[in-house]
């Protein structure tokens, strides 16, 4: 199910570390906040700087890291640059996390598989074509 995403993750993050660039970029709380702010729509560096407790230079550096990880895209408009979330950039992270989820689901499926009865000599339950034993005529006597 996630083979296509995982292949893209390997291509984006390298075969040894799919999703690594994205995880590294999101490891910084300021970069996560920048990405969250960009969820509201396209914004310039100065727009973001007004909403963050860091300098414009720091915001630019964080945007550069997010862009390198494929999480944001930009466009020039005169002398300004506007940034937006690059939704496809989240695919490597999603594929990386899905690979763990696939393991969890596989383990659950194995756990949920019916197992053989613990006591193979236990009396068989009657089937539809096999009637149950009639009740004892003497309920106080055990057979």
The rounded distance, in Å, linking the Cα atoms of 89 and 71 is 5
Question: pLDDT tens across 50-86, in order?
Answer: 999 999 999 999 999 999 999 999 999 999 999 999 9
Question: Whole-model pTM?
Answer: 0.62
In this prediction, residue 130 has a pLDDT band, given cuts at 50, 70 and 90, of low
Question: pLDDT tens across 3-17, in order?
Answer: 454 455 445 444 456
Task: Tokens for 107, please give them.
Answer: 């383990």
Domain ranges for the chain, please list them: 3-91
**E strand map for 10-133:** 43-44, 72-77, 80-85
pLDDT for 119 beyond 90? no
CATH fold of 3-91: Arc Repressor Mutant, subunit A (1.10.10)
pLDDT above 90: percentage of residues in the chain: 47
């Amino acid at each position: 199910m996630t083979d296509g995403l995982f292949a893209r993750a390997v291509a984006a993050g390298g075969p040894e570390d799919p999703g690594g660039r994205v995880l590294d970029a999101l490891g910084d709380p300021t970069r996560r906040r920048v990405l969250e702010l960009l969820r509201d729509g396209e914004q310039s560096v100065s727009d973001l700087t007004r909403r963050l407790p860091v300098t414009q230079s720091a915001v630019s550096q964080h945007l550069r890291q997010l862009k390198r990880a494929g999480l944001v895209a930009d466009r020039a408009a005169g002398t300004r640059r506007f940034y937006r979330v690059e939704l496809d950039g989240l695919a490597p992270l999603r594929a990386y996390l899905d690979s763990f989820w696939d393991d969890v689901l596989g383990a659950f499926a194995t756990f949920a598989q019916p197992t053989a009865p613990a006591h193979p000599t236990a009396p068989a339950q009657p089937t539809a074509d096999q009637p149950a034993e009639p009740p004892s005529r003497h309920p106080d006597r055990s057979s």
